[in-house]
Each structure stands twice: as C-alpha cells, then as structure tokens.
Amino acid sequence: NAGVTQTPKFQVLKTGQSMTLQCAQDMNHEYMSWYRQDPGMGLRLIHYSVGAGITDQGEVPNGYNVSRSTTEDFPLRLLSAAPSQTSVYFCASSAGVAEAFFGQGTRLTVV
C-alpha cells in the first residue's frame, strides 16, 4: 500500500523562486492537509481540504496556495519562496475524522 506519497523529498530554492510540492494518496480519503514542522513550534496547519474542489486556510497560510481537483491529489504551491519557508512539509489524509496518515515529508531549504 502506497498510502500518502510526497515528492520531492528534498529541495533547495533561491529566494523568490516558486515551486509545487506534490502529495497523492491512494486510500480514497476526502480529508487532506498540509503541515509544516519547525523546531520548537511543532506541526502547524497550512491549508486543508475536505473534498475535491473544497479548500480552506489553516493556521499559517500566507505565501502558500493549494487546489484540489481530484480526490487523490493535493499540491502545495509556494508562490515566491522566502527563507522563512525553510521547513519540513508534511501532507496528511484521513477518512473524515478517523485516523490520519502522513507522508514522509519534504525537506525544503530556501537560500
């Protein structure tokens, strides 16, 4: 079972560049979310989706965009990368409020 798959695993960006972090799940889960993990801050919610075509902002949405055109995919776009966006990004999915499953993460460095 693939579960939640994130690509890439590592990425280095220059300030001002844009990129898309990919997330795909094969469990037919309607809920998908993006979190960032920073030392001492824990995991914080960036954006989430409760189904195809429906997205909303989480705790720290500034500088990020999302879309949900299919149940399986939930890409996260960095519009103009900043050093403050250096972090580890995790995608998660769940069947409603049931058990959440996480991807292996994308480690992003913005220089």
The footprint of another protein on residues 25-44 (CB under 8 A) is 31, 33, 40-43
What DSSP string runs through 39-73?
TTTEEEEEEEEEETTEEEE-SS-TTEEE--SSSSB
| 50 contacts: CB under 8 Å, gap ≥ 6 | 30, 31, 56
Please report whether residue 100 would count as binding another protein according to CB under 8 A. Answer: yes
The minimum distance between CB 16 and another protein, in angstroms, equals 27
To the nearest whole angstrom, how small is the minimum distance from the Cβ of residue 99 to another protein?
5
Residues 22 and 91: beta-carbon distance below 8 Å: no
- Least distance from C-beta 25 to another protein, angstroms? 13
Alpha-carbon distance of 41 to 96, in angstroms, equals 26
Question: Which of 64, 94, 108, 110 touches another protein (CB under 8 A)?
Answer: 94
Q: Which of 11, 17, 52, 58 binds another protein (CB under 8 A)?
A: 58
C-alpha pair distances (Å), 56 with each of 5, 33, 40, 51: 21, 10, 25, 11
Interface with another protein (CB under 8 A), residue from 34, 48, 64, 74: 48
- Residue numbers at the binding site for another protein (CB under 8 A): 31, 33, 40-43, 45, 48, 50, 56, 58, 90, 92, 94, 96-105, 107
